[in-house]
Amino acid sequence: MEEVRVTPWEAEAFVDYDRLIKVFGAKPLTEREVSALKSLTGELHPMVRRYVFYSHRDFDIYLERLRSGARCALYTGRGPSGYTHLGHILPWIFTKWLQDRLGLELFFQMTDDEKFWHDERLELSESNAYAYENSLDLIALGFDYRKTHIIVDSEDIGYLYPIATRVAKKITYSVQRATFGFTDSTNVGLVFYPVLQIAVSFLPTELYDEPTEVLIPAGIDQDPYWRIARDIAPSLGYPKPAQIHNKLLPGLGPEGKMSSSKPETAIYTTDPPEVASQKVMRAFTGGQPTVELQRRLGGNPDRCSVYKMYEMLFEEDDEKLRERYWSCRTGALLCGECKAQLAPRVATFLQDFQKRRERARDVVDRYLLRGKFEKPRVRKS
């Protein structure tokens, strides 16, 4: 089978998502799961209506278990290698919506250790500081501190280690290498790291001291961790974690997902609004090289980073989105106009967001897992 260029550390801008789920072995989200969700939430988030969240593992079973009153929780996270960009907050926006609609607690992992091991130039003190900076973004989205618990790996390892030791014993180096593409020169911190990301999917069961169904809303790039987690869960006595996967917001350049490794093509939540507007105005689009050609042949919204910003984040109204799609396709809408309409939306979003983000500094402590839960004990198996 052809190589798939999506891993937890890199991804193309326009991925063949259908092929990806076949290779990964996940299931496409269908009307069946979508209407099961709607029957619990009453309405649907645009990211579900538009299949931005488009694939899953056992999401249907999770919803059934939730409906039948089983203990359930949410889990997602962030590798704090720098400031947060709009791609990162995409799954968090949906996670917040799920928390509000379903009343679920969220466990949020900040992997300052992972990013220290992954990025040669990053000191642990820096990735640790980013863990707290990135927490401000989570809080600015409006998560409820009573139901949101942030775990910072380097400081909260005592919560994970009793689970991680047992997880580690179930995973061989050959599985790690095959799943993550590790080589002989990969440092052993990074080789161990997946154990910790997997351990959090079992943490709620330990903290609540009862079997807890966990749903992980996150980008499809994180799926390799969950394949292993699901394989080993039964032998450790934990429920298999379920997933719902989002597509990746493309960067504003000609290639690649929006990524911290390409700052010029990413919009950070900390960008001054005018800088973000300039990035939008310089974005690479799916348009034709000249106005004449664009009018005659139309653009290609399916491969346009600007259209994807509307579809995935900045246009709530389905009808308006459809209009934009067809105006682009038929050449009625030029790329310059489309960007000029997006730039102020992004700027206004950032202005409001940054106010909330600053206010969040005073309340970060309330969100930290430590202090709210006892550390899990080593269980007799």
**Two structure tokens written together for 314:** 């900045």
The distance of closest approach from Cβ of residue 306 to ligand TYM in the complex, given in angstroms and rounded to an integer, is 15
Judge contact between 163 and 201, C-beta under 8 A.
no
Q: Reduce the DSSP state of residue 61 to 3 states and report it.
A: helix
The Cα–Cα gap between 273 and 279 comes to 10
> Residue 305 to residues 82, 265, 342: CA-CA distances in angstroms?
22, 10, 11
DSSP labels, 207-241? HHTS--EEEEEEEGGGHHHHHHHHHHHHHHT-PPP
Segment contacting ligand TYM (CB under 6 A): 166-174, 217-225, 279-287, 316-324?
217-225
219 vs 331, beta carbon nearer ligand TYM: 219
55 vs 222, beta carbon nearer ligand TYM: 222
State the residue number with the nearest CB to ligand TYM: 219
Residues 305-364 that bind ligand TYM (CB under 6 A): none
Strand segments (E) across the chain: 6-7, 10-11, 27-28, 53-57, 72-78, 105-110, 148-152, 213-219, 242-246
The distance of closest approach from Cβ of residue 366 to ligand TYM in the complex, given in angstroms and rounded to an integer, is 21
Residues 28-87 that bind ligand TYM (CB under 6 A): 75-79, 87
Residues 153-212 that bind ligand TYM (CB under 6 A): 197, 200
> Does 376 engage in binding with ligand TYM (CB under 6 A)?
no
Q: Reduce the DSSP state of residue 105 to 3 states and report it.
A: strand
Q: Which residues pair with 257 in a beta bridge?
A: 250
The distance of closest approach from Cβ of residue 373 to ligand TYM in the complex, given in angstroms and rounded to an integer, is 17
Judge contact between 76 and 117, C-beta under 8 A.
no
The Cα–Cα gap between 353 and 345 comes to 12
150 vs 334, beta carbon nearer ligand TYM: 150
Segment contacting ligand TYM (CB under 6 A): 159-167, 181-189, 214-222, 272-280?
214-222
Q: Reduce the DSSP state of residue 55 to 3 states and report it.
A: strand
115 vs 324, beta carbon nearer ligand TYM: 115
> Does 246 engage in binding with ligand TYM (CB under 6 A)?
yes
> Does 114 engage in binding with ligand TYM (CB under 6 A)?
yes
247 vs 339, beta carbon nearer ligand TYM: 247
Judge contact between 201 and 226, C-beta under 8 A.
yes
Among 47, 214, 244, 249, binds ligand TYM (CB under 6 A): 249
Contacts of 356 (CB under 8 A, 6+ apart): 139, 140, 142
193 vs 325, beta carbon nearer ligand TYM: 193
Among 74, 248, 309, 328, binds ligand TYM (CB under 6 A): 248
String marking each residue 250-289 x if it binds ligand TYM according to CB under 6 A:
-------xx-------------------------------
The distance of closest approach from Cβ of residue 202 to ligand TYM in the complex, given in angstroms and rounded to an integer, is 12
The distance of closest approach from Cβ of residue 200 to ligand TYM in the complex, given in angstroms and rounded to an integer, is 6
The distance of closest approach from Cβ of residue 307 to ligand TYM in the complex, given in angstroms and rounded to an integer, is 15
> Residue 19 to residues 8, 27, 363: CA-CA distances in angstroms?
17, 11, 43
Contacts of 28 (CB under 8 A, 6+ apart): 18, 21, 54, 55
Separation of CA 12 from chain center: 16
The distance of closest approach from Cβ of residue 185 to ligand TYM in the complex, given in angstroms and rounded to an integer, is 20
The Cα–Cα gap between 190 and 204 comes to 24
Q: Which residues bind ligand TYM (CB under 6 A)?
A: 8, 75-79, 87-88, 90-91, 109, 111, 114, 197, 200, 216, 218-219, 221-222, 246, 248-249, 257-258
